[in-house]
Chains A and B, each alone.
Chain A
Amino acid sequence: MAEEVADETLGDLDQPLEPSLANIIEQKTLKWVFVGGKGGVGKTTTSCSLAVQLAKARESVLIISTDPAHNISDAFDQKFSKVPIKVKGFENLYAMEIDPNIGYGELPDEYFEGASDAMRMGRDILQEVLGAFPGIDEAMSYAEVMKLVQGMNFSVVVFDTAPTGHTLRLLSFPQVAGLLGMQEFNADEVSGKLESILPVIQKVNEQFQNPDQTTFVCVCIAEFLSLYETERLVQELTRYCIDTHNIVVNQLLLQKPGDQPCSMCAARCRIQAKYLDQIADLYEDFHVTKLPLLEHEVRGVNQVKEFSENLVKPYMG
């Protein structure tokens, strides 16, 4: 979880780590980047910005959103769907939106090429049975997505809206393979489909727990509840052996020098400063990137591109 200091000189050990996401751009072995955090902190803005920056340094990038609110469609001002579509204005950036709640039973038929009627019926039965297990719907969707995505060979995949606790748990346990293996259905093709997912899940487990291939970026704001949730998220990730060493603090009020702030802004700045100190104290072995609250919303390709610069170069007002 902690950034390895082997490559920094001894004198730098006391210095905080570089406050940007450049480390992710530079780590060429990364294949899966999750961007998560609770409650409207700016995950989508951050994940889209990160995808934009990654697209500059990689061969092909896919950003996947599992948020039913279709936020990346809003961010890039373009309609996306359940299959990867190139983002307008980019050569190598693709986007995809899936709804994890829809689950295995309603994935588009392209996922079931050559499926017979028996298989479709089996799929519905499967849907019913799997509904009994919390989070397994999501896990199955993820498994299907993984399978699809692995076949497409993107250099790196950015996930917006990280998996919920349930899915994290399921994805990180090899036992899920055993659980799914226990299902026996009338249609042989259905269990065949399941069996084809098992190795994917296992392979995905291994990749998610490999810090060279997977990392998690936690987005938060400088308020108590967000900090509390971030700590909870970090602990949970550590428990499931998923690497995380980046924190993004968003929506910060940055006073321009010479400005006379109103009493409200001054007060909010003080509150944010207090929590920024606590973040710096608690996450001294993380990269803590600070993002500003701007006077405009970050919507549309140009604004996202502009905003994405803040991920690699600290904002100076």
Chain B
Amino acid sequence: MMELTSEMYLFLITSILGSAGSLLPFLMQLILRTVGKESQAERLLRQEILKLKQQLQTISMVDQFASYAKVQRKINALSQQYKDKAMERSVGEQRVRMVLGGTLRTIVGLLCVWLIWEHRSDPVVSLPTNLVWPFGPILALPSCEVGQISVMIWLAVVRTVCNKVNTALTSPRTTPQRATPIFNPPPVSPTAVPVAPPLD
């Protein structure tokens, strides 16, 4: 197996750190999706509500209003419970998202700063001087020789590219990934109002 030169090693590390900023949201979604799924209790509630709604179809509102209303009351109570549970979960999820996101971002940020400082004079890639003209001095910031591309510059390039790719990929979609509760809106009506009564 080919031995990694220190340059290639640096190149890899820098590329990974640069793209980490954009990969982070996806990573978090994955984690949250497995950890924050609809719990057993919620699923049971939803099933119970659906069952009751089916039962409601069989009761005639006009002739058996009392039974109809009792079932409707149960549905309302369960729906409220479900909403409360889902809200709890989404709040918890938001909290996790913030904490996790903040921590990861801080770590990545600190690593970048350390990397740039430690290897301020080490190149990521060495190119012949005539290829980098006239940007040579800029590409070599802060302390590389002209013709080399420094860690800082490469990091900036990778981050910019990743951001652009990210926006290009996410803008056409109506993002469900934004900070909204993850639960799929189930067929549960939140209001307590029965539909208009049939006219005899």
In the complex with contacts A235-B73, A235-B76, A236-B192, A282-B197 CB distance below 8 A: no
Inside 8 A of B67's CB, which chain A residues have their CB? 281
0/1 string, B166-200, CB within 8 A of A gives 1:
00000000000000000000000000111001000
Cα of A279 to Cα of B69 in the assembled complex, Å: 11
Cα of A278 to Cα of B76 in the assembled complex, Å: 20
Q: Is A225 an interface residue (CB 8 A)?
A: yes
Inside 8 A of B192's CB, which chain A residues have their CB? 232, 235-236, 239
Chain A residue nearest to B64 in the complex (CB): A278
0/1 string, A111-146, CB within 8 A of B gives 1:
000000000000000000000000000000000000
Whether B76 contacts A224 by the Cβ 8 Å rule is no
- From residue A230, how far is it (CB to closest CB) to chain B in Å? 10
Q: Which of A270-288 contact B (CB under 8 A)?
A: 275, 277-279, 281-282
Whether B70 contacts A282 by the Cβ 8 Å rule is yes
Whether A278 contacts B66 by the Cβ 8 Å rule is yes
Q: Is B65 an interface residue (CB 8 A)?
A: yes
Inside 8 A of A224's CB, which chain B residues have their CB? 62, 65, 197
Cα of A235 to Cα of B71 in the assembled complex, Å: 13
Inside 8 A of A225's CB, which chain B residues have their CB? 197
With a 10 A CB-CB cut-off, give which of B61, B69, B76 has the most chain A CB atoms. Answer: B69
Whether B197 contacts A231 by the Cβ 8 Å rule is no
Whether A281 contacts B66 by the Cβ 8 Å rule is yes
Cα of A281 to Cα of B193 in the assembled complex, Å: 20
Chain A residue nearest to B73 in the complex (CB): A235
Inside 8 A of B193's CB, which chain A residues have their CB? 232, 235
Cα of A275 to Cα of B193 in the assembled complex, Å: 20
Cα of A235 to Cα of B189 in the assembled complex, Å: 15
0/1 string, A271-311, CB within 8 A of B gives 1:
00001011101100000000000000000000000000000
Name B197's contact: one of A228, A278, A279 (CB within 8 Å).
Answer: A228
Number of A-B contacts (CB under 8 A): 34
Q: Which of B59-90 contact A (CB under 8 A)?
A: 61-62, 64-67, 69-70, 72-73, 76
Q: Is the interface of A mostly helix, strand, loop or mixed?
A: helix
- From residue B21, how far is it (CB to closest CB) to chain A in Å? 37
- From residue A63, how far is it (CB to closest CB) to chain B in Å? 30
Inside 8 A of B70's CB, which chain A residues have their CB? 282
- From residue B116, how far is it (CB to closest CB) to chain A in Å? 46
Name B65's contact: one of A228, A236, A239 (CB within 8 Å).
Answer: A228
Q: Is A227 an interface residue (CB 8 A)?
A: yes
- From residue A110, how far is it (CB to closest CB) to chain B in Å? 40
Inside 8 A of A277's CB, which chain B residues have their CB? 66
Cα of A28 to Cα of B76 in the assembled complex, Å: 33
Chain A residue nearest to B200 in the complex (CB): A224
Chain B residue nearest to A227 in the complex (CB): B65
Chain B residue nearest to A235 in the complex (CB): B192
Chain A residue nearest to B65 in the complex (CB): A278
- From residue B52, how far is it (CB to closest CB) to chain A in Å? 15
Whether B62 contacts A282 by the Cβ 8 Å rule is no
- From residue B185, how far is it (CB to closest CB) to chain A in Å? 20
Cα of A236 to Cα of B73 in the assembled complex, Å: 11
Inside 8 A of B64's CB, which chain A residues have their CB? 278
Inside 8 A of B197's CB, which chain A residues have their CB? 224-225, 228
Cα of A281 to Cα of B64 in the assembled complex, Å: 10
Inside 8 A of A239's CB, which chain B residues have their CB? 192
Chain A residue nearest to B193 in the complex (CB): A232
Cα of A98 to Cα of B61 in the assembled complex, Å: 38
Cα of A224 to Cα of B198 in the assembled complex, Å: 11
In the complex with contacts A225-B197, A239-B192, A231-B62 CB distance below 8 A: no
With a 10 A CB-CB cut-off, give which of B61, B65, B193 has the most chain A CB atoms. Answer: B65
Inside 8 A of B72's CB, which chain A residues have their CB? 231
Whether B65 contacts A282 by the Cβ 8 Å rule is yes
Cα of A225 to Cα of B196 in the assembled complex, Å: 10
26 A-B contacts, Cβ less than 8 Å apart?
A224-B62, A224-B65, A224-B197, A225-B197, A228-B61, A228-B65, A228-B194, A228-B197, A231-B65, A231-B72, A231-B194, A232-B193, A235-B73, A235-B76, A235-B192, A235-B193, A236-B192, A275-B65, A277-B66, A278-B64, A278-B65, A278-B66, A279-B66, A281-B66, A281-B67, A282-B70
Binding site for A on B (CB under 8 A): 61-62, 64-67, 69-70, 72-73, 76, 192-194, 197
Given contacts A227-B65, A228-B61, A228-B194, 14 further A-B contacts (CB under 8 A): A224-B197, A225-B197, A231-B65, A231-B69, A231-B72, A231-B194, A232-B192, A232-B194, A235-B76, A235-B192, A235-B193, A277-B66, A278-B64, A282-B66
